[in-house]
Amino acid sequence: MNEPIKKIAVLTSGGDAPGMNAAIRAVVRACTYYRVDCVGVYRGYQGLIEGDFETLSARHVSNIINKGGTILKSARSEEFKTVEGRAKAYENLKKAGIGALVIIGGDGTFTGGLKFIEEFNFPVVGIPGTIDNDIYGTDNTIGYDTALNTVVEVIDKIRDTASSHNRLFFIEVMGRDAGFIALNSGIGAGAEEILIPEKNLGLDRLVESLDKSREKGKTSSIVVVSEGDKIGKNVFELADYIKEKYPFYDIRVSVLGHMQRGGSPSCYDRVLASRLGVAAVEAILDRTSGVMVGVTNNEVTSVGFNKAIKMNHDINEELLKVAEITSV
Ligand code: ATP
């Protein structure tokens, strides 16, 4: 641990998110700036196990800041969940003379990183890259802002058709365990009702809200539903339930799906990714390990993997109030 670190590896893992490329670019260029070598690992932890490495220079990452996805590819690796798999990964890192690892991903990625540190005392620093924004220790994760903008753009388009035909639209957005995308895109796109996993608003509340909308003369409505909402019905069952109760509604369902992960990253995500890429390399050179770097109140911060994984990034109650007030 006391030898100088001369080579840093970087990988992307779990679900891809727009802005991961900007983070890779920042890691590579920070390495160049601080005169350490940088190695890209393809396909996340699986590439670590298979030794799928490539040395990256500052020029290798030209023209990627604006690109969605990840040039290093991402993967979910079952083998890395085994001690044997992680031992292979460690051997490959040692063989390549790599002294530290930057991991870009979500909760699962950090859980794997923590185990790796505990088993091999190998320095690892994390960067939060996931569209769900469900990680404690940073105000925003890389990709979340872009995903929000994508969702709002699509809901705006759906609203045009909804209002032309007096339709009730149920729009499912990503977020199995976290309602950040639903809540913020719902407010941003002016949804009548927003259903999120953190709050069980119940079917009665939804029905009541639709009744009120009708009484007030609203002729079309948008309901944004997070994948993991707690009513316990999927978006199609929800639509069927309402249709049975209100046969006069012309109900449509739209599941936005993977389009939410794609696209060119927003400026916000590019800047966030650039800051976090630099911060991760600086943390490693400062001999820090087992932390995720983040931005909180516009300051670069860091939090232990343990906390980032275990603690919840709470939904802002004020936003729930704003959603309720602005949908009257
Ligand atoms: P997202 O939030 O986008 O899903 P994530 O990082 O949470 O991203 P996961 O698929 O949960 O995505 O985890 C990514 C990878 O991290 C897994 O494929 C696996 O290789 C590794 N990983 C996850 N959990 C563990 C664990 N308990 N032990 C070791 N490795 C793990």
Q: How far is the CA of 89 from the centre of ligand 1 (A)?
A: 15
Distance (Å) from CA 77 to ligand 1 centroid: 8
Domain ranges of the chain: 7-143+265-310, 145-261
Answer yes or no: same fold for 7-143+265-310 and 145-261. yes
* Mean pLDDT to the nearest integer, 256-261: 94
| Ligand 1 pocket: which of 42, 111, 118, 261 to mutate (most atoms within 8 A of CB) | 111
| Angle (CA) 69 71 76, round 5° | 70
Q: Report the atom number in ligand 1 closest to the C-alpha of 106.
A: 6
Residue 105 and residue 276: Cα distance in Å, rounded? 12
Q: Please, what is the Cα angle at 70 between 279 and 151, to 5 degrees?
A: 95
206-210, 238-242, 275-279, range with greatest mean pLDDT: 275-279
**Whole-model pTM?**
0.95
Query: Is 80 exceeded by the pLDDT of residue 258?
Result: yes
* Structure-block tokens of residue 184: 């913020």
DSSP-H helix ranges across the chain: 20-33, 44-50, 83-95, 107-120, 144-164, 180-188, 202-215, 235-245, 267-285, 305-310, 317-326
Q: Could you tell which of 109, 146, 292 is best to mutate to test the pocket of ligand 1, judged by most ligand atoms within 8 Å of the CB?
A: 109
Decide: 115 in ligand 1 pocket, CB within 6 A.
Answer: yes
Per-residue pLDDT at 214: 80
145-261 belongs to CATH 3.40.50.1580: no
Distance (angstroms) between ligand 1 centre and the Cα of 218 equals: 44
Task: Tell me the pLDDT tens digit for each residue of 164-176.
Answer: 887 899 999 998 8
The answer to whether the CB of 295 falls within 8 A of the CB of 139 is yes
Give the tens place of pLDDT for each residue, 4-34. 999 999 999 999 999 999 999 999 999 999 9
CA 256 – CA 151 distance, rounded (Å): 8
**106 close to ligand 1 (CB < 6 Angstrom):** yes
Q: What is the mean pLDDT of residues 99-122?
A: 97
CA-nearest residue for atom 17, ligand 1, is 76
Q: Tell me, what DSSP letter sits at residue 311?
A: S
45 lines ligand 1 (CB under 6 A): yes
Q: What fold does the segment set 7-143+265-310 form as a domain?
A: Rossmann fold (3.40.50)
**Cβ of 189: how many Cβ atoms within 10 Å?**
21
Distance 115 CA to ligand 1 centre (A): 12
Torsion of CA 102, 54, 278, 81, to 10 degrees: -10
63-67, 191-195, 215-219, 290-294: the lowest-pLDDT one: 215-219
Give Cα 148 to chain centroid, integer Å: 11
Residue 197: name the closest of 174, 218, 213 by CA: 174
**Which ligand 1 atom is the nearest neighbour of the CA of 105?**
6
Give the pairing type, strands 250-255 and 167-173: parallel
Q: Indicate which residue's Cα is closest to atom 19 of ligand 1.
A: 77
**CB of 15 closer than 6 angstroms to any ligand 1 atom:** yes
Contacts of 206 (CB under 8 A, 6+ apart): 193, 195, 223, 231, 238, 242
In whole angstroms, give the CA distance from residue 3 to residue 62: 31
The answer to whether the CB of 53 falls within 8 A of the CB of 17 is no
Q: What is the Å distance from ligand 1's center to 76 Cα?
A: 6
Q: How far is Cα of residue 320 from the mean position of the Cα atoms in its chain?
A: 21
pLDDT band at 232 (very low <50, low <70, confident <90, very high): low
Does the active-site annotation cover 132?
A: yes
Q: What is the mean pLDDT of residues 136-148?
A: 97
167 vs 220, more confident: 167
Three-state secondary-structure class, residue 128 = strand
Q: How far is CA 184 from CA 133, 179, 197, 224, 274, in A?
A: 11, 8, 14, 10, 24
Catalytic residue among 37, 132, 134, 229: 132
What's the mean per-residue pLDDT of the chain? 93
Q: What one-character-per-residue DSSP string does 174-214 give?
A: S-SS--HHHHHHHHHTT-SEEE-TT---HHHHHHHHHHHHH
Q: Does the beta carbon of 130 sit less than 6 angstroms from any atom of ligand 1?
A: yes
| pLDDT greater than 60 at residue 243 | yes
